[in-house]
Amino acid sequence: MNYSKLDKVFSEWMRRKDADENGMVKCVTCDAWEHWKDMDAGHFIPRGHLMTRWYDFNVYPQCIYCNRILDGNLEAYEEFLAEKYGPDILDELWMLSRTEAHFTQAEIDELVIYYKDKIKNINHG
C-alpha cells in the first residue's frame, strides 16, 4: 500500500487550514508562529498507527524544533489536546490507535482527492 501521496496532501492541509492570510500558523506546543511551509504536521499518536495517522484530532502544525528535536513535545501536546477537546480526547486517541486499520488503495486515493479539494478551497497562504 502506498501512503505517500496521502501523507503529503494531508500534511499540507493540516498545516494550512488554520494559517492566516499570510500563510502563518502557530505551533500547538510552543506558540511559535511560522509559515506553514516551515512547519511539520505533528502527530500526537505516531504515524505508524494507521487509524490515527490521518485523523484530524491527532495532527496539528508543529515547529520543527518541537516535532523533531523534542520528539513531539508530547507533554505540551497533551495539554493542548485536553484544553481544546477535554481530557477524554486522549483516551479516545489511544483507543483508536490500537484499532486495526485496513485501507484499500481506492480508499487512500479517495482521501487524496478529498484533501486536494479542501486545499483548493483555501483562500490564503
Q: Are 61 and 15 in contact (CB under 8 A)?
A: yes
3-state secondary structure at position 42? strand
First-to-final CA distance of the chain:
32
Q: What is the pLDDT of residues 21-59, one digit of tens each?
A: 999 999 999 989 999 999 999 999 999 999 999 999 999
pTM: 0.94
Taking the C-alpha atoms of residue 68 and residue 72, their distance in angstroms, rounded to an integer, is 6
